[in-house]
C-alpha cells in the first residue's frame, strides 16, 4: 500500500526571469519516496523545487505539502519543508554548531529541544568532531551534509534538494545517497534535481523527466529504463565546444552497436532502441569529457510506455 | 516563538558574524578613533585660556625711522609672530605659504599725501590678511598717536574680552568637534556596509534558505536594523570613551541626553543601511552611490568643518539634512553641555529621518520581494 502523498503539484505554471519555466506541471511525491527530476538546463527542475519550497509563487495551479498550501499558513508550510539550495550555502564564517543553533532558533527551538536538535544535526552531518570548526574550512561533502542537517532541523516530512551532488566526488555522492535512503526509510519524501541519469537510476525510487517546463516522463527508473523498444529514442544535444576528432573516435568505439551518433559542428544527435540504451550511450558520451550545454528529447518519444504506467 | 525573539535571533546571528572576523572587528573600532583623532589634530588650536594665538607675519621694513619703529612694535606685539625680511624673501616665502601674509612698511618712508599700506597674502589666506590688517592698523595708529600726542594718548578708553559661546558650560576643543563628526560619518559608513551585506546575503543560497524558512519578511529587516544599530552604538561608545580618555572630550551634564542622541544616530545609520540595500541594485552600484551620498551629507552637515564656513544658502540647505541635526544633537550633548530638553529637537529630527528612511526602504524591499516571488529577477 503506498504511503500518503507528501507533495502534490497540480497543474502548476510558474514564471522565472520572464520565461514560463514550468508549464501545467502535475506531480506527486509520497512519503518514503525519493523522486529525481531530470532534464537539460532550463527544463524547469530548479523552478519546480523553488515553487515547492515556497520561494516562488505559481501563476496557476496549486502546491500542497501534507495537504496544506503555503498561502493558508506560510509559517507552518515552511516548517514542513526542508530546502537545500544548489550551492549548499551556509554562513561560512560561523562554526557548524553556530549555524545549526541559529537555524534551530529560527524554527522556534529553545532549551533542551534546541540542544537535542543541534546534537542530532551534528550526528546526522557526521561532524561531531568538527563541531566548533568554521564552515569555510569544510570540504564540499561536509558542507552538503551540514546543509541537509540544517534543512532537517524541524524534522520536516519533505526534503527538497537542488542538485545535491553537483560538487561532490563519487564517494561523497554514494554516501549522500545512503543518507537520503535512510531518510526515505524514516518516511521522508525527498524531491531532488540532478543531471546524472545514473544517479537517478541507482539512487531514486522514481524519476520525472522535464523538458521546457513540461513533464515528459514519470515513473520508476527501472521501468523507464527497461521500456520495450517501441521506437528509437532520440536525444538532441548542443556541445559546449566542437569535439576533437580523436575524442569522437573514442566515443564511437565505446558505443554499442545500434547506437547512432551524429555530430555536426556543435550539434549532436544520439539515438538508440529504447531509453535504456540511450541513457547508457549518453553516460558514455559524458564520461569521455564531452561538454553538453543542453540536451533535449522530443516529447513523447522517450518513454511512452513508462509514462503510461 | 515570539516575534521579538525571532528578531533577536536574527540580530544575534549578525552579531556573531561581526565578531567571527576578529581583525575586521578591531578595525571597526579603530578606524573611527583614528579618523577623529587625525581631524582633531589638524584643527586643534590652543585655547585662549592656554595661550595667545599668534599670527605668523612677514615684515618688509622701510627706511624711515617711523617705519622701523612700527616694525619693532610689531615684533614686540604678542598677537603676531613677526619676522623682518627683504622684499625678495617675502615674495618667495609667500609663494611657499611660510607664512601666508606679509606687510610692506616702506609706504611709511614718506607721509607726503596719503601713503598706502600694502599687505601681501597667499590667495587662499584672505582671513589671515584681514587679521594682519587689523593688528598692523592698531600698531601703526598707536605709534602715530604717540608721536603726535604723546604717550598718554595710546590707551583706548575700554578693554576687550573674547568669550566663546557654545552653551551653559562650554568645553570646546577641536577634538570635541572631530569626535562628534567623524563618529557620525563612520556610523553612516557602517550602516552602508550592513546594507551591502544584506544585499549579498539575499543573493546567496543562505538568503534563499532564510526566505524559505518560517521567518516573516519584516522580521528579517528588523533583525538587520537591531544588529546594525546595536553594533553602531558599541562603536560610538568606544570612540567617545577613547576621546574622553585621550583628548578630554566631555559628555554631559546630561548623560541621558547623550545616550538618547547616540541611540537615535545609530538607528539612523541602520536605516541608511536598509535604504542602501533597497535602492542600491547591484552591490558595486550601491557602494558607489552610497559613498557619494554619505560624503556629501557629511560635508554639508558640518561633520568635517563647522557649517558656518559654508555659504549662506548652503547653511540653509543643510538644515534639511539629517546629518546637520545629528551633529547639533551630539555636539549639544557633549562639549556644549546642553541638557536633555535642549537635545530633544535634534533627537526628534534624527528619529524623524530614521522613520522616513525605514519606511522607504521597507516599501522598496517588500516590492522587490513580491517581484522575486513572482519570478522576476531583481
For residue B47, the distance in angstroms to the closest alpha carbon of chain A comes to: 49
DSSP bridge partners of A226: none
Q: What distance in Å separates the CA atoms of residue B268 and residue B292, rounded to the nearest whole number?
A: 17
Decide: helix, strand or coil at residue B257.
helix
Interface test with B, best of A85, A117, A150, A154 (most B CBs within 10 A): A85
Q: Which residue has the higher pLDDT, A212 or B378?
A: A212
CA atoms within 13 A on the CB side of A121: 29
Q: What pTM value is reported for the model?
A: 0.75
- Indicate if the pLDDT at residue B356 is higher than 60: yes
Indicate if the pLDDT at residue A249 is higher than 50: yes
Q: What average pLDDT does this structure show over A266-289?
A: 80
Query: How far does the CA of residue B30 sit from the closest CA of chain A (Å)?
Result: 22
DSSP 3-state of B121: strand
Chain A residue numbers touching B211 (CB-CB < 8 A): 55
Give B171-182 pLDDT, tens digit per residue: 667 788 889 999
Smallest Cβ distance to A102: which of B13, B20, B211? B13
Whole-number pLDDT of residue A138: 92
Min Cα distance A16 → chain B (Å) is 4
B17–A93: do the CB atoms touch at under 8 Å? yes
Closest chain B CA to residue A76: B214
Distance from CA of A242 to the nearest CA of B (A): 32
Q: Which residue of B has its CA nearest to A108?
A: B1
Count CB-CB contacts under 10 A for residue A11.
12
Q: What is the 3-state secondary structure (H, E, C) of chain A?
A: CCCCEEEEEEEEEEEECCEEEEEEEEEEEECCEEEEEECCCCCCHHHHHHHHHCCCCCCEEEEEECCEECCCCHHHHHHCEEEECCCCCCCCCCEHHHHHHHHHHHCCCCHHHHHHHHHHHHHHCCCHHHCCCEHHHCCHHHHHHHHHHHHCCCCCCEEEECCCCCCCCHHHHHHHHHHHHHHHHCCCEEEEEECCHHHHHHHCCEEEEEECCEEEEEECHHHHHCCCCCCEEEEEEEECCCCCHHHHHHHHHHCCCCCEEEEECCEEEEEEECHHHHHHHHHHHHHCCCCEEEEECCCCCCCHHHHHC
Taking residues B216-226, report their average pLDDT.
92
Q: Is B316 helix (H, G, I), strand (E, B) or coil?
A: helix
CA distance A178 to A171: 11
Residues belonging to chain A with any Cβ–Cβ distance to chain B shorter than 8 Å? 14-18, 21, 47, 53-57, 59, 74-76, 78-79, 81, 83, 85-91, 93-94, 98, 102-103, 105-108, 110, 134, 150-151
Q: Which of A24-28, B157-161, B367-371 has the lowest mean pLDDT?
A: B157-161
Min CA distance, A140 vs chain B (Å)?
A: 15
Instruction: Give the pLDDT confidence of A32-85 residue by residue, as tens digits.
Output: 999 999 877 778 899 999 999 999 999 999 999 988 888 888 888 988 999 998
Q: Are A294 and A237 in contact (CB under 8 A)?
A: yes
pLDDT, one tens digit per residue, over A131-162 is: 999 999 998 889 989 999 999 998 899 999 99
Q: Which of residues 4-23 of B touch A (CB under 8 A)?
A: 5-6, 9-10, 12-13, 16-17, 20-21
pLDDT band at B165 (very low <50, low <70, confident <90, very high): low
Assess B49–A contact: CB distance below 8 Å, yes or no.
no
Q: Which residue of A has its CA nearest to B205?
A: A89
Rounded to whole angstroms, the Cα distance separating A41 from A163 reads: 12
CB contact under 8 A, A86 and B204: no
Nearest to B209 among A59, A83, A94 (CB): A83
Per-residue pLDDT tens digits for B237-293: 999 999 989 888 888 778 889 999 999 999 999 999 999 988 877 888 888 888 999
CA distances for B259 relative to A28, B23, B33, angstroms: 58, 27, 19
Contacts with A11 (C-beta within 8 Å, 6 or more apart), sequence order: A24, A25, A26, A60, A61, A62
Integer-rounded Cα radius of gyration of chain A: 20
Nearest by Cα to B264 from B306, B296, B233, B228? B233
Residue B45: predicted pLDDT: 67
How far does the CA of residue A291 sit from the closest CA of chain B (Å)?
A: 26
- Measured CA to CA, the distance from residue A77 to residue A80 in angstroms comes to 5
Interchain CB distance below 8 Å, B208 and A83: yes
Q: How many of the other CB atoms lie within 10 Å of CB of A164?
A: 26
- Phi, psi at A90, each rounded to 5°: -135, -175
pLDDT 10s digits, A196-213: 777 887 888 888 888 788
Query: What is residue B14's predicted lDDT score, i.e. its pLDDT?
Result: 93
| B360 touches B275 (CB < 8 A) | yes
Helix (H) or strand (E) holding B161: none
- Calculate the average pLDDT of chain A: 84
Q: Which of A8, A3, A299, A45 is nearest to A166 (CA)?
A: A45
Contact, B338 vs B332, CB < 8 A?
yes
Rg (chain B; Cα; Å): 28
Q: Which chain B residue shows the shortest CA-CA distance from A53?
A: B212
Contact A88 B377 (CB under 8 A): no
Within 13 Å, how many C-alpha atoms sit on residue B78's CB side? 3
Taking contacts as CB-CB distances below 8 angstroms, the residues of chain B near A76 are 214
Cβ separation of B214 and A79 shorter than 8 Å? yes
Residue A136 grid coordinates: 569555510
At CA A73, angle to CA A147 and CA B371, rounded to 5? Answer: 75
Contact between A25 and A37 under an 8 Å Cβ cutoff? The reply is no
- Contact assignment for B208 to A150 by CB distance below 8 Å: no
A-chain residue closest to B20, CA distance: A93
Beta-carbon count within 10 A of B184 CB? 29
Q: Which of the two residues, B51 and B371, has the higher pLDDT score?
A: B371
Residue B209 to chain A, least CA–CA distance (Å): 7
What value of ipTM does the predicted structure carry?
Answer: 0.72
What part of B 53-112 touches A (C-beta under 8 Å)? none
Q: Which residue has the cell 544575534?
A: B12
Angstrom distance (rounded) from CA A45 to CA A24:
14
Tally C-beta pairs within 8 A across A and B. 89
Return the higher-pLDDT residue of B170 and B19: B19
Crossing angle, helix B322-333 and helix B283-300, to 10 degrees? 60
Amino acid at each position: 500500500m503506498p504511503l500518503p502523498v507528501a507533495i502534490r503539484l497540480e497543474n502548476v505554471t510558474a514564471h522565472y526571469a520572464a520565461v514560463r519555466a514550468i508549464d501545467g506541471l502535475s506531480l506527486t511525491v509520497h512519503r518514503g519516496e525519493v523522486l529525481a527530476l531530470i532534464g537539460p538546463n532550463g527544463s524547469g527542475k530548479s523552478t519546480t523545487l523553488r515553487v515547492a519550497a515556497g520561494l516562488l509563487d505559481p501563476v496557476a495551479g496549486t502546491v500542497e505539502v501534507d495537504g496544506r498550501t503555503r498561502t493558508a499558513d506560510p509559517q507552518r508550510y515552511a516548517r514542513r519543508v526542508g530546502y537545500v539550495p544548489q550551492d549548499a550555502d551556509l554562513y561560512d564564517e560561523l562554526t557548524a554548531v553556530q549555524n545549526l543553533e541559529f537555524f534551530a532558533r529560527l524554527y522556534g527551538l529553545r532549551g533542551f529541544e534546541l540542544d537535542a536538535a543541534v546534537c542530532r544535526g551534528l550526528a546526522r552531518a557526521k561532524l561531531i568532531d568538527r563541531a566548533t570548526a568554521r564552515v569555510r574550512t569544510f570540504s564540499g561533502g561536509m558542507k552538503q551534509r551540514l546543509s541537509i542537517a540544517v534543512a532537517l532541523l524541524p524534522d520536516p516530512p519533505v526534503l527538497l534538494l537542488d542538485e545535491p551532488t553537483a560538487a561532490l566526488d563519487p564517494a561523497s555522492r554514494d554516501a549522500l545517497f545512503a543518507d537520503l535512503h535512510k531518510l526515505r526509510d524514516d518516511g521522508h519524501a525527498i524531491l531532488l534535481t540532478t543531471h546524472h541519469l545514473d544517479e537517478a537510476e541507482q539512487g531514486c525510487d522514481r524519476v520525472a523527466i522535464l523538458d521546457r517546463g513540461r513533464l515528459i516522463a514519470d515513473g520508476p527508473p527501472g521501468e523507464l529504463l527497461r521500456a520495450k523498444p517501441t521506437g528509437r529514442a532520440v536525444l538532441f544535444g548542443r556541445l559546449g565546444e566542437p569535439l576533437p576528432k580523436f575524442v569522437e573516435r573514442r566515443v564511437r568505439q565505446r558505443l554499442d552497436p545500434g547506437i547512432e551518433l551524429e555530430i555536426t559542428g556543435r550539434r549532436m544527435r544520439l539515438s538508440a532502441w529504447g531509453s535504456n540504451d540511450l541513457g547508457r550511450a549518453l553516460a558514455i558520451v559524458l564520461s569521455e569529457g564531452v561538454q553538453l550545454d543542453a540536451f533535449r528529447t522530443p516529447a513523447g518519444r522517450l518513454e511512452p510506455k513508462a509514462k503510461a504506467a | 516563538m515570539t516575534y521579538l525573539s525571532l528578531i533577536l535571533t536574527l540580530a544575534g546571528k549578525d552579531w556573531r558574524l561581526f565578531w567571527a572576523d576578529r581583525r575586521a572587528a578591531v578595525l571597526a573600532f579603530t578606524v573611527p578613533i583614528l579618523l577623529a583623532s587625525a581631524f582633531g589634530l589638524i584643527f586643534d588650536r590652543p585655547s585662549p585660556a592656554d595661550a595667545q594665538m599668534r599670527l605668523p607675519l612677514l615684515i618688509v621694513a622701510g627706511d624711515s625711522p617711523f617705519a622701523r619703529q612700527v616694525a619693532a612694535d610689531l615684533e614686540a606685539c604678542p598677537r603676531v609672530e613677526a619676522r623682518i625680511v627683504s622684499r625678495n624673501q617675502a615674495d618667495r616665502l609667500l609663494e611657499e605659504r611660510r607664512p601666508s601674509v606679509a606687510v610692506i612698511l616702506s609706504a611709511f618712508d614718506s607721509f607726503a599725501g596719503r601713503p598706502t599700506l600694502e599687505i601681501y597674502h597667499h590667495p587662499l589666506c584672505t582671513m589671515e590678511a584681514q587679521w594682519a590688517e587689523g593688528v598692523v592698523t592698531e600698531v601703526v595708529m598707536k605709534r602715530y598717536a604717540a608721536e603726535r600726542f604723546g604717550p598718554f594718548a595710546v590707551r583706548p578708553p575700554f578693554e576687550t574680552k573674547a568669550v566663546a559661546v557654545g552653551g551653559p558650560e562650554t568645553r570646546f576643543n577641536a577634538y570635541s568637534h572631530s569626535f562628534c563628526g567623524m563618529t557620525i560619518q563612520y556610523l553612516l559608513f557602517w550602516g552602508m556596509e550592513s546594507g551591502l551585506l544584506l544585499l549579498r546575503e539575499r543573493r546567496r543560497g543562505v538568503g534563499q534558505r532564510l526566505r524559505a524558512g518560517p521567518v516573516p519578511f519584516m522580521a528579517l529587516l528588523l533583525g538587520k536594523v537591531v544588529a546594525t544599530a546595536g553594533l553602531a552604538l558599541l562603536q560610538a561608545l568606544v570612540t567617545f570613551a577613547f576621546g574622553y580618555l585621550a583628548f578630554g572630550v566631555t559628555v554631559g551634564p546630561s548623560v541621558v541626553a547623550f545616550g538618547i542622541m547616540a541611540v537615535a544616530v545609530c538607528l539612523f545609520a541602520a536605516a541608511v543601511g536598509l535604504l542602501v540595500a533597497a535602492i542600491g541594485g547591484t552591490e558595486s552600484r550601491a557602494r558607489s552611490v552610497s559613498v557619494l551620498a554619505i560624503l556629501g551629507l557629511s560635508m554639508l552637515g558640518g561633520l568635517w568643518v563647522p557649517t558656518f564656513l559654508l555659504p549662506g544658502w548652503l547653511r540653509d540647505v543643510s538644515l534639511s539634512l539629517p546629518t546637520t541635526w545629528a551633529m547639533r544633537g551630539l555636539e549639544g550633548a557633549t562639549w556644549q553641555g546642553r541638557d536633555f530638553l535642549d537635545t530633544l529637537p535634534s533627537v526628534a529630527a534624527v528619529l524623524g529621518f530614521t522613520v522616513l528612511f525605514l519606511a522607504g526602504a521597507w516599501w522598496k524591499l517588500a516590492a522587490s520581494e513580491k517581484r522575486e516571488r513572482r519570478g522576476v529577477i531583481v
